[in-house]
Chain A
Amino acid sequence: MNKKTSQKKIQRDFEKLLRELKQKDAFIHYQREHETGPIHLGYLKTAIDTDKLEKYIMPRLQEYMYQNLNELKDHIPFTKTELTDDADQIPDKLVKSFVFIYMANVSPSYLLIPLPLDEKRQVSVPEVEFSVVGPKEAFVEDIDTNLNLVRKRLAIPELNVKKLRVGTITKTDVAVVSIAGIADEDNVKTAVQRIKDVDIDQVVDSSFIQQTIADNKNSPFPQLLDTERPDRIASILVEGKVAIFVNGSPHVLLGPTTLIEFFSAFEDYFLNWLTASSFRLIRLIAVFFSILITPLYVAVLTHHFEIVPQTMLTTLVNSRMQVPFPPIIEALVLEFAIELLREAGARLPTKIGQTIGIVGGIVIGTAAVEAGITSNVLLILVALAALGSFTTPVYKMSNTIRLIRFPLIIVASVYGLIGLAISIAYIMVHLLRLTSLGRPFFAPIFPFRFADFKDALIRLPFSMQNKRPFQVRPSKVKRPVANENDKLRDSR
């Protein structure tokens, strides 16, 4: 009696559900008769893989003799199938790529089969952090593929993956990855705690996490490094750092990081240490050059003619002879032009973008000088400064570098070198105070960690990288790197 009434209720619920679902565009409903009564099959066309449905489900449904859904379930070659009587959860499951099969008069009466459509990009060559030598795999948008790319490189049971859900609407999968026994537990806990505390409706990319869990959200400096190279993530995990994967993002965050790490390309580790160190130094010099050269030009030409060497005065004054503006206007016009070019190049498709580069570089540059809007010398300096900012391997940092130039130019024009010195001191203090997942961001310069310089401004050979960076407080500091032959030679 009781069973019958409940069966009736289920049938009523199902009819109601079917009416509701039929309102939807993408809903496909299929019905066939069976000895126990009608069998209904339904799914959302855009959510499931119809190939799989036709190949594996439909034949079973039509050919196989079964009395209830439990029997059917055993013969369907998919895991994660579910049986239920509850009609309320069906719409939710349908959008999550499930197919339901309803069989009247038996209990349980719904069989749910997941048939997700695996639309994902192939693993391809890294484009942002391209390197000539070394592995050529880059992360894709799918978190499981990304985790797999790292697992391939770190096939160890200690690899700790903690999955979280972020986003009140998107419910995006976020994974905090570290190596147990090497990474500091505090760092992992900090990362997990901060991600749990994030209260945001959507997480579309790892940048959302990067910005919401930043130590100082008002800082122009990114405080977590993002990379698209699985080899880099594997390497920093071994160093004792923490990686944060976000579903839907081909960029994986890593922390705690340092300012200098933003200027080290991962290619540095594939080259001989002398070459790598030189290139890293060149990159750091380029950054200083990029930030300071235009402000210095403005400051010197506006206030400090004394410090220009006599022989250079001729060149400077000659090139400025036709220019009717003070240096500040001249510099701002050019910097603005360069930013316009960059922005136009970034917004346009690649092929047109190249044209923009040529138009901007040659036509506008030459024309501006000939028209007497800017001087030749400044044109060269601004172009070099722009070039310098593009040597930074991390795109977000290179944006920051271009940005902090503008206040410096304005201060330099009003207060000269004194103003410039004070502004730089201000930026330095800001950097000293910054932290990344609670660890000092300006290390190893401040707090001074002599041992960490082995992989900071320069990269010393692997035989000297026998300790993990102290800045991240690894649980296990020592790491074996020396060659057996080296050890023998050293002991002799």
Chain B
Amino acid sequence: MYLKYIVFFVFVTASLLLNAFMPSKIIDQIQMITVIGFDATEEERVQGTVASPKYQQEGQVEDFIYTDTADTVYEDWVKLNAKATERLLNGKIKVVFYNQKLAAEGISDFIGFLTRDPSIGGNVSLAVTEGSTLDVINSATTTKGRGIFFADLFEHNIRHGNLPQINLKIFESALDSGTQDPFLPMLSIEKERPALTAIAFFKGDQYVDKLPIEHADVFKMLYEKNVSDGEYQYKSEEYIAAVENIETTKDVVFETNGGSGTVTINVNIRGAVREFTGQLPTTQKEKIERDIKQDIEKKANRLVSRFQELEIDPLGIEDDIKSGNRTYNQKHFKSAYPDMPIRVNAEVKITGYGIMR
């Protein structure tokens, strides 16, 4: 009767003893890669640069930066491990950079290793750098570690700035969907400091175009289903207005009246005027709303026609139509897309003007 307990006990003890020296990844005996940069090179396929934090006393972090060239990512890691004092591990990758040249050649080969490794999550920021990734990584000065530095840079811009929600998972699903083209933030060095300068648009996995980040507000309104804290600057000869705390809702309507059909993107915008250079804005609410509406529509239409010229669809219009339309045919849509009439219809509502004394 007690045999089963004895067998169980022996089994558990034996398994614990036999596995007592299983390879472990003790937190202070490894080097965690936090930032990776990939550059196109002449001889071999890629130059990989990694930053790995070394924790100093009193909460300071100093990054070790290793770089080498190889044909595959893991081949590169072998070379980098030869330089590192501890084992380099992928688990804490926060940011991956691709330089513009490599991005133009296509980056899907250097995304695969991220999605295949179960220790890497979906919330990894990807970005394109204008120059060498090594320079961008080196240019960051921080005591928290470069991983946190860049991740924070992207995160606050996504939450409150002009950068739409983007990470590895969203990029990957846009790439694989076949109905949408991905985009990434673009970094460059401004006055020896890394700065978010543009949004890079991809055709498939190849970089084709960019939009300066200060003009990305309209893109964000058109791309996101809801923007919860956006901003918008209106400039004209007459007056300048800064609209903050913008909340938007987007809705794509597809109508097939013969032909290839027309697309209307309805954007509903609510925001408060926080900065104004004309007369008292409260007296001319309708005018401001009308001006901003026309401005947004103009900019939006220009952006959409630029996408149509490049035959890319970062807004995911095809995706919206596919999910809401039975007559959708991919071949048909792809051929019709460059000339498709796509109209943007903005509804602007000013909800407040700030409090003035």
Interface residues of A (CB under 8 A from B): 218, 300-306, 308, 310-311, 313-318, 320-321, 326-327, 410-411, 414-415
Contact = CB atoms under 8 A, between A and B. Distances in A.
Interface string B119-158: 1110000000000000000000000110110010000000
Nearest to B17: A414
Interface string B10-51: 000000100110101111101010100000000000000000
Contact of B24 (A302, A317, A318, A321): A302
Given A310-B148, A313-B53, A316-B27, 16 more contacts: A301-B27, A302-B27, A303-B24, A303-B25, A305-B32, A306-B120, A310-B34, A310-B92, A310-B94, A310-B147, A314-B61, A314-B144, A318-B58, A318-B59, A321-B57, A415-B19
Given A305-B92, A313-B32, A318-B59, A410 B151 contact: no
Given A310-B34, A310-B151, A326 B24 contact: yes
A310 B63 CA distance: 14
- Say what secondary structure dominates the interface of chain A: helix
Interface residues of B, number: 31
Contacts of B58: 318
A50 to B, nearest CB: 54
B27 A414 contact: no
A314 B55 contact: yes
Interface of B: 5, 16, 19-20, 22, 24-28, 30, 32, 34, 53, 55, 57-59, 61, 89, 91-92, 94, 119-121, 144-145, 147-148, 151
A308 B151 contact: no
Contact of B27 (A317, A411, A415): A317
Contacts of A218: 5
A436 B24 CA distance: 42
Contacts of A313: 27, 32, 53, 55, 92
A321 B61 CA distance: 13
21 contacts: A218-B5, A300-B27, A302-B24, A303-B24, A304-B25, A305-B25, A305-B27, A305-B32, A305-B92, A306-B120, A308-B27, A310-B94, A310-B145, A314-B55, A318-B55, A318-B57, A318-B58, A318-B59, A320-B28, A326-B26, A410-B16
Contacts of A305: 25, 27, 30, 32, 89, 91-92
Chain B binding surface, main DSSP class: loop
Nearest to B23: A303
Contacts of B5: 218
Contacts of B120: 306
B87 to A, nearest CB: 11
Contacts of B94: 310
A314 B92 CA distance: 13
Contacts of A317: 27-28, 55
A320 B30 CA distance: 13
A306 B34 CA distance: 11
A302 B25 contact: yes
A317 B32 CA distance: 12
A15 B58 CA distance: 92
Contacts of B20: 414
B151 A411 contact: no
Contacts of B53: 313-314
A308 B26 CA distance: 12
A306 B92 contact: yes
A327 B26 CA distance: 8
A320 B58 CA distance: 12
B55 to A, nearest CB: 4
Contacts of B30: 305
B26 A301 contact: yes
A168 B165 CA distance: 78
B26 A414 contact: no
Contact of B145 (A301, A302, A314, A320): A314
Contacts of B27: 300-302, 305, 308, 313, 316-317, 320, 327
Contacts of B145: 310, 314
Nearest to A320: B28
Nearest to A410: B16
